[in-house]
Amino acid sequence: MPTTHLPGHLDSLRQKARPKHQLLVLKCYPRLPKNSTADVKPNSSELSYLLYYASTRQDKIPKVGTFLEQKTAHDVGRYQSTRVLVTLQILTALLEHKEISRASGFALIAPSVLRVLRDIINNTNDVSLIEATTPTWDVFCQHQDVANLAADLEYRTLYEEVVRLYGSLAKNNSQKLGKSTQPVAHHDAIRLRKAGVEAIRSVFGQSELNRNWNREYNVAIAAVLTNLRHDLEHKGGTPEYLDHLVALSTKNEEEERPPINHRQSIATVRTFSGLPDEQDPDPRAAEGTAQDADRLEEEEVGLLALDCIKAIFQSQNRAQIRDGAIAFMRHVADEAERYSSTDAVNDLQLWAATLFRLITLWTPVQDRFIPLFTANETLTRYPLEKSQDFRVASIYAKCILGVLRSDMNLIGLSVIDMLLGLINQTIRLAAAVAPRHDLRSDQQVAGGLEWTSTAISHQEARRELLPCLKDCIANLARHVYYADQVTDMISFIMLRVKANTSASDKDTAVAADRVTGDTSSALTRDKPASVIGGGFSSESGRHTALEIVKNIIEIAQSTRQYSAGSTTINRHAVPLGVWEGSQWLAKDSSELVRETYREALLAWAKYEADDGDAALIDFEAVDCIERLADSKRPASLNGSTSQSHRSAHPQLLMLPKFGEERRMSSGKNSEGSEEKPRGRSNNLRDIIDGKVFVPPREMDGKPVDVKALMATVKVDRSRAGLTMEPPYH
């Protein structure tokens, strides 16, 4: 029985005067010297009786918890580390008891557990004590009562405080213990971070726990993420560290995978000792220096942080996946504002894109669209007009592009909603895009996932963001989940290609602002026509939209060839109707827009047109005027009020087929047994530009007298003339 400083007869009287629950608790502590290094454990028989006493008299559980709180405060203040370790084991045993761990019993002991953990983290200077709190915290999180956490405000505040304390331990910075003002040694700081990351992993370890997200979780996740990379401001802090951790994690998972149990001989079968197998120490720690040992400890912390992030997203709780993705985006934005070096920002972009792709991959297949859609929502809500720094938006777009370029299954993704958000942001950005001579240089920026290092300025960041947004939109065609998806995407974009009545005036004003460096006024000036109107009304906007359409067609074709024979949905070819009402672009005032329009048409004719399609138009005037493409409009646009004004425009497209042996239109355009004269694809540009004249076909072997034919034509005055005006909206 524990003794005090009182004389023997008085001490025995004091022990007899103690309540029974205090006596049972004190009997659990073994007799050991102060701060003994021995493996301390509570007395097993006394601990068993204490558990029986508490489980049969649950009104005594709060009293047991209060007494353990007082004893912990006393022992921590007097540096009695051994007794504190025993206290933690007693609390763990109470939490694991099947009767006490129920909802009613857990609610009685949980506040005392949280107060004990808080006092140890706040007041102790012993790193080993903080490490010893993680098993107790893990058991506590396994039996967490969500109803009590949501109903009791005081208990929830206490819980959030402990989570915040563990999050501060997990942060990769100089650590301080207790009330000390001096930071701890480097190897002790690694141990503290390891304990903090383990505690945060325990918080999200229970996938069935439907927790309410709070600000402390955001701070905790941000602290864990700092352990997945080195400081980017220092030499050697490259994103390759994350790839190294992923490789180590994969290797460890393969080694931990149980091997196939082959039939063994009796002579080789090992006897069971009843003790758990201890993990062999890493020989590299013994062979190398102290710095090598610290590096190995850093790797262990990084692997724990990777497992913690994986536990957050490998969950069936969709709310947790979404909130975790939001916390990741906020952390990336905060880090981008903290760094001033160009190389550090570029490394942060690559690191964020790699980790976001892993996050999406770890998410269950049916929920993988949640992180991607959350990132897209964060990007579309980013205020481009008010922000003076486009780097954050560039990082968001880079993360989205990394996922869309991959071949992972994103079933459940709302492609049109993604497209709407990306297009709205592209329209706002295209309103202040670089001048025409800079547009060609933008096309080369987006080639490849790794961007070149550029000076941090608004102009350069904006020119990097626009090609990335275009690539994001085009790469949506890699993930086809219904037959008319590509058709709807192109129609959605072409609906927003509009003419700007004052485009020349606005382009002049925007160019003047670019000379003076006032980018915000350029965005604001173009907003009424380009943003509020919801379309690509500027010259740069029309060029951007047509370039996106061309890229969509090319990527959709490459994906169709790559996924031949797989389970990917066989999409329908893009019909001719998507180009209805866009003929005015062939006569646009901008040469670059006209050229991009021709390239988009050529890409469609090369990959999407069909020889057997009766809707293809020949070069002859009868076909050009009479044949319309209403029947080939996408199903999603049939009956659309926004398209009613376009149906009156005849289809004047003259689109060829590619290849010497392929005809410009199908045999269905022939009359009787005679074949119409066909145009070849290599003559398309000359015919459109007016350099080559296509003569009328002969009738009965004789040339047509055009003048005599035109003299017999009578004009119907009551019939409205055909127009080729662009849609001014």
CA atoms of 379 and 393, how far apart (whole Å): 6
Where residue 706 falls among pLDDT bands split at 50, 70, 90? low
pLDDT in tens, 650-689: 334 444 433 333 333 333 444 444 444 444 445 555 655 6
| Structure tokens, 211 | 């927790």
Does 558 score more than 50 pLDDT? yes
pLDDT in tens, 487-522: 999 999 999 887 664 444 444 334 434 433 444 444
CB contact at 8 A, 396 and 389: no
Does 75 score more than 70 pLDDT? yes
The secondary structure of residue 391, as a DSSP letter, is H
| Structure tokens, 498 | 């509009």
pLDDT in tens, 3-51: 554 455 445 656 667 888 899 999 999 987 665 656 789 999 999 999 9
Where residue 528 falls among pLDDT bands split at 50, 70, 90? very low
CB contact at 8 A, 469 and 398: no
The residue-averaged pLDDT of 324-342 equals: 87
CA atoms of 350 and 243, how far apart (whole Å): 11
Q: Which of 381-385, 478-482, 640-644 has the highest mean pLDDT?
A: 478-482
Q: Which residue has the higher pLDDT, 323 or 442?
A: 323
Does 569 score more than 80 pLDDT? no
Does 532 score more than 80 pLDDT? no
CA atoms of 484 and 634, how far apart (whole Å): 7
The residue-averaged pLDDT of 230-250 equals: 71
pLDDT in tens, 266-276: 444 444 334 44
CB contact at 8 A, 95 and 113: yes
CA atoms of 599 and 61, how far apart (whole Å): 78
Does 719 score more than 60 pLDDT? no
Closest CA to 556 of 604, 588, 516, 515: 604
DSSP secondary structure of 405-454: TS----TT--HHHHHHHHHHHHHHHHTT---HHHHHHHHHHTSSSSPPP-
Among 8-22, 208-222, 377-391, 421-435, the minimum mean pLDDT is found in: 8-22
CA atoms of 641 and 631, how far apart (whole Å): 16
Does 72 score more than 70 pLDDT? yes
> Helix, strand or coil for residue 497?
strand
Position 443 scores a pLDDT of 46
Position 682 scores a pLDDT of 52
> Helix, strand or coil for residue 702?
strand
Where residue 182 falls among pLDDT bands split at 50, 70, 90? confident
For 545: left if phi > 0, alpha if psi spans -120 to 50, otherwise beta; the answer is alpha
Phi, psi of 497 (to 5 degrees): -85, 110
Instruction: Express as a percent the part of the chain with pLDDT over 70.
Output: 62
Position 384 scores a pLDDT of 77
pLDDT in tens, 584-612: 888 888 899 999 998 998 898 888 876 55
Q: Tell me how crowded residue 154 is: count the other CB atoms within 10 A of its CB.
A: 8
| Structure tokens, 702 | 């004789």
> Helix, strand or coil for residue 489?
helix
Q: Which residue has the higher pLDDT, 559 or 329?
A: 329
Q: Which residue has the higher pLDDT, 270 or 149?
A: 149
pLDDT in tens, 400-409: 999 999 989 9
- What residues contact 134, with CB distance under 8 A and at least 6 apart? 195, 198, 199, 202
- What residues contact 197, with CB distance under 8 A and at least 6 apart? 170, 224, 227, 301, 304, 305, 308
CA atoms of 175 and 123, how far apart (whole Å): 14
pLDDT in tens, 185-219: 888 899 999 999 999 999 988 755 566 677 888 89
Does 346 score more than 60 pLDDT? yes
CA 294 to chain centre: 32
Position 709 scores a pLDDT of 61
The residue-averaged pLDDT of 84-112 equals: 91
Where residue 73 falls among pLDDT bands split at 50, 70, 90? very high
Q: Tell me how crowded residue 466 is: count the other CB atoms within 10 A of its CB.
A: 25
According to DSSP, the residues that pair with 456 across neighbouring strands are none
Closest CA to 600 of 586, 588, 610: 586
| Structure tokens, 706 | 């055009």
> How high does pLDDT run on average in the chain?
74
Among 225-234, 241-250, 536-545, 617-626, the minimum mean pLDDT is found in: 617-626
HEC string of 601-620 equals HHHHHHHCCCCCCCCCCCCC
Where residue 277 falls among pLDDT bands split at 50, 70, 90? very low
According to DSSP, the residues that pair with 151 across neighbouring strands are none
Q: Which residue has the higher pLDDT, 182 or 361?
A: 361
Number of H helices, E strands in the chain: 29, 0
Closest CA to 98 of 141, 34, 55, 35: 55
> Helix, strand or coil for residue 242?
helix
Q: Tell me how crowded residue 715 is: count the other CB atoms within 10 A of its CB.
A: 6
CB contact at 8 A, 139 and 165: no
CB contact at 8 A, 163 and 212: no
Closest CA to 728 of 491, 431, 501: 501
Position 672 scores a pLDDT of 46
Position 196 scores a pLDDT of 94
Question: Residues in the chain, how many?
Answer: 729
Position 175 scores a pLDDT of 73
Q: Which residue has the higher pLDDT, 337 or 353?
A: 353
| Structure tokens, 380 | 């579309």
| Structure tokens, 602 | 């050529």
Does 476 score more than 70 pLDDT? yes
Among 75-79, 89-93, 465-469, 578-582, the minimum mean pLDDT is found in: 578-582
CA atoms of 53 and 259, how far apart (whole Å): 45
Does 371 score more than 90 pLDDT? yes
Looking at residue 494, its amino acid is M
Please give the model's pTM, rounded to 2 decimal places: 0.76
Does 439 score more than 60 pLDDT? no
Does 437 score more than 70 pLDDT? no
Closest CA to 453 of 351, 335, 343: 343
Q: Which of 211-225, 462-476, 715-729 has the highest mean pLDDT?
A: 462-476
Does 362 score more than 60 pLDDT? yes
Q: Which of 23-27, 175-179, 343-347, 699-703 has the highest mean pLDDT?
A: 23-27
Looking at residue 366, its amino acid is Q
Q: How far is CA 699 from CA 188, 618, 627, 696, 703, in A?
A: 96, 18, 22, 9, 7
Q: Is the dihedral of CA 61, 67, 69, 75 positive or negative?
A: negative
According to DSSP, the residues that pair with 671 across neighbouring strands are 674
With both helix axes pointing from N to C terminus, report the angle between 342-362 and 240-256 in degrees, rounded to the nearest 10.
30
Looking at residue 318, its amino acid is R
CA angle 6, 9, 10 (to 5 degrees): 45
- What residues contact 147, with CB distance under 8 A and at least 6 apart? 103
Does 531 score more than 80 pLDDT? no
Closest CA to 550 of 579, 589, 571: 579
Q: Which residue has the higher pLDDT, 440 or 693?
A: 693
The residue-averaged pLDDT of 375-394 equals: 84
